[in-house]
Amino acid sequence: MGLVERAFSSPRDHVSVMLWIRAYDGESDVWSYFELDGEEWALRQVDLQGPQRQPVTAASLAEVIEIRDRGDLAAMAAYERQYGVLAEGALRGWQEADGAAEMARQEFESTWAAARETLDADRTDETT
């Protein structure tokens, strides 16, 4: 198997082509930001709601798989309460959604970091 074949052998492999997109859902007033793999499956997702763009989701497929593989339902429920639920399935056709656009990796990374920081702080506030 050649280098290119190995790099693209798994649709969830982080070596594959990555794409960062954002889309707006006016009905729920939510901006969604996605890191997609080469098959357009969400690897990470951030949802910002309302005019203040309050983070409500900052979920990671790698984290979800790790918890799932441990078979810890309580940990999965706690994760989803803190970070929300990651979109399931391929997001093919995202280009047709109103306001959907590709974005720079750095913009996604800064949005991700800020959302995680806020959701981590919110969780800390709830437990203290």
Locate the domains of the chain by residue range: 3-123
Q: Which of 82, 94, 77 is nearest to 39 (CA)?
A: 94
pLDDT in tens, the chain (128 residues): 333 332 333 444 444 689 999 999 999 999 999 999 999 999 999 999 999 999 999 999 999 999 999 989 999 999 999 999 999 988 998 888 878 999 999 999 999 999 999 999 976 555 44
Q: Please tell me the predicted confidence (pLDDT) of residue 4.
A: 32
